[in-house]
Amino acid sequence: MRKIFAALLALFVLTVEAPVASAELLKFSGSPHLLPAPVMVVGAYTPGGQANFAVFHRGGVLTSGKDGGSMRVSFGVKGDAEKSLTYQSVKASGACTINLPSLKYLSETDLLGSFSGRAPCGCFQDKLKAAGLTAVKGAEVNAPMVEEFPISLECELEDDIAIAPGSKSRLMILKVRKVWADEAYIDAKGKINPMSVSGDPDSSLIFFSHSHAENGGYYGYGSFLGKSGEISKRYREGR
């Protein structure tokens, strides 16, 4: 009898104490390097004139222009920036391109991000060639683009800044001079979409989460949830 009573009590306690579906928030210090960020393949000519490409996820759109003025984007060079081939190349030429790959080119992008354009001997190695991709010179700036990727931004280096005291990382600040987009991504209104208008999942632009969990890593755009403004209509119309 006592055992049954104890079991029932335990069951009651467990039910009452069961965690509710809504979140229990845990607090941490340190660097939350885990949120999805944009995958940007930066192209620049090395001081030796070769086309080099490297992958960055720190950065994004900084500002849009007054009355259609300059759009500015950024990418962050980690560690000792002066040792980075991309940093040296962009500083020397004053220009670069930001190429946005689609999921179709995820393997190629990961290859570009996993090797340096500087081989152990110190000489240049052609990552783009190894990836089977094609470099095309920019129309407005002296920097190479990736022909196969759906979106490319030709950019002029405006500034590079240190952000954290005592850190050698730099944030590259770029003025966008020209934007190229695959026609399949352009809709009837002439606007660019983050995947082809036909909705092919392989055509989606790419995010990267630095989380090392099983589900960390690369992501694309998934299902569409709603348009900005429209999705919150009920709150503006009163309830």
Partner 1 sequence: MRYSRLSGFFVCFTILCCLGLPAFGAKVAVETTSRVLPATAYLVGTCDEQGRPDVCVIDRAGIAETPSGKMIVYVGIRPSRQTAKNIERTGTFTVNVPNAAILPQADYCGTVSGMKDGEYFDKFAVTGLKQEKGADVNAPVLTDCPVILECKTIQTKEFPDGQHKVFFGEVVSYHIASEALDGGKDKPVLQYDPTRGGTLAYFAGSAERSGHYALSAPMGHRGKVWQRKFPLPNGLEARPREKH
Within 28-67, the residues that bind partner 1 by CB under 8 A are 28-40, 57-66
Whichever of 92 and 184 has its CB closer to partner 1, that residue is: 184
Are 220 and 207 within 8 A, CB to CB? Answer: yes
Region of 8-16, 44-52, 87-95, 196-204 interacting with partner 1 (CB under 8 A): 196-204
Are 27 and 62 within 8 A, CB to CB? Answer: no
SS3 115: coil
- 156: DSSP letter: E
Is residue 191 part of the contact set for partner 1 (CB under 8 A)?
A: yes
Residues forming beta bridges with residue 74, ordered by sequence position: 60, 173
**Out of 51, 54, 90, 98, which residue is the one contacting partner 1 (CB under 8 A)?**
98
**Out of 10, 11, 147, 200, which residue is the one contacting partner 1 (CB under 8 A)?**
147
Region of 10-18, 44-52, 89-97, 222-230 interacting with partner 1 (CB under 8 A): 222-230
Closest separation in Å from C-beta 150 to partner 1: 7
Nearest one of 58, 60, 148, 56 to 101, comparing CA atoms: 148
Q: Is the dihedral of CA 108, 148, 198, 102 positive or negative?
A: positive
Is residue 18 part of the contact set for partner 1 (CB under 8 A)?
A: no
Is residue 111 part of the contact set for partner 1 (CB under 8 A)?
A: yes
